[in-house]
């Protein structure tokens, strides 16, 4: 399994952008294109559907050596054996959690798939500082630009990316409106890892789009 520190392109199987395609086939295309980490994001799907999708995607990502992240659904991530769960501020802090270690059930890292890891969203330096104190494995920095993926979210701009580059020591990913036109500015602000949703999933060739981003990431 690819170490988190080596993951630079974070891609998504987002049900809002599947356009009728099977989630596991999209996951295969992402892996074929060189995505380093893949998140299943199904905001409007009931838990049973999320679990079913996760169970189909996991064999694909695992065969490729790519970690799978389940968005929001901690229990599903744990039960299907996904490597990561990603939680928003409200899903973590507003749910009464203070430390990521509380979510790991005290399970030791006794094998390649047993270390259950957590990523947290952040939208401002003070949120990042609070999240970092909770001990996540990575944080997301964004949305950098306005994005249809989260239409009501206020862009945090490149200033937050620059702050993260200067202050965040755990792996972090810039997210929100990152595409081939904005990528150079995001990298120039100090990002070395990016999340890309619509710019890959809306491309005519998902694997080719991934390769374009990977080539630009170096």
pLDDT in tens, 17-36: 999 999 999 999 999 999 99
- Above 60 in pLDDT, residue 114? no
Query: Do 190 and 165 form a contact (C-beta atoms < 8 A)?
Result: yes
Q: Could you tell me the pTM of the whole model? A: 0.93
Instruction: Delineate the domains of the chain, giving CATH numbers in brackets.
Output: 4-217 (3.20.20.70)
Query: Do 57 and 42 form a contact (C-beta atoms < 8 A)?
Result: no
pLDDT digits (tens, 9 = 90+) for 62-103: 999 999 999 999 999 999 999 999 999 989 998 889 999 888
pLDDT digits (tens, 9 = 90+) for 133-179: 999 999 999 999 977 666 677 888 999 999 999 999 999 999 999 99
Q: Whole-angstrom Cα distance, residue 8 to residue 13?
A: 17
Buried-exposed string 115-151: b where 16+ CB fall within 10 A, e elsewhere? ebbbbbbbbebebbebbbebebbbbbbbbbbebebbe
1-5, 49-53, 87-91, 100-104: which has the minimum mean pLDDT? 100-104
């Amino acid at each position: 399994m690819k170490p988190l520190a080596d993951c630079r392109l974070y891609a998504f199987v987002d049900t809002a952008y599947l356009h009728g395609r099977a989630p596991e086939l999209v996951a295969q295309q992402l892996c074929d294109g060189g995505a380093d980490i893949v998140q299943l994001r199904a905001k409007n799907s009931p838990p049973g559907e999320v679990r079913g999708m996760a169970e189909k995607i996991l064999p694909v990502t695992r065969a490729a050596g790519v970690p799978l992240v389940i968005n929001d659904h901690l229990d599903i991530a744990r039960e299907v054996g996904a490597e990561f769960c990603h939680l928003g501020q409200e899903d973590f802090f507003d749910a009464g959690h203070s430390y990521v270690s509380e979510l790991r059930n005290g399970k030791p890292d006794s094998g390649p798939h047993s270390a259950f890891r957590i990523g947290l969203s952040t939208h401002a330096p003070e949120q990042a500082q609070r999240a970092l104190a909770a001990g996540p494995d990575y944080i997301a920095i964004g949305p950098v630009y306005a994005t249809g993926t989260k239409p009501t979210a206020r862009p945090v701009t490149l200033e937050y990316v620059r702050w993260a580059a200067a202050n965040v020591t755990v792996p972090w990913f810039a997210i929100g409106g990152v595409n081939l036109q904005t990528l150079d500015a995001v990298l120039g602000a100090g990002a070395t890892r990016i999340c890309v949703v619509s710019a890959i999933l809306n491309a005519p060739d998902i694997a080719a789009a991934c390769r374009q981003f990977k080539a630009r990431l170096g």
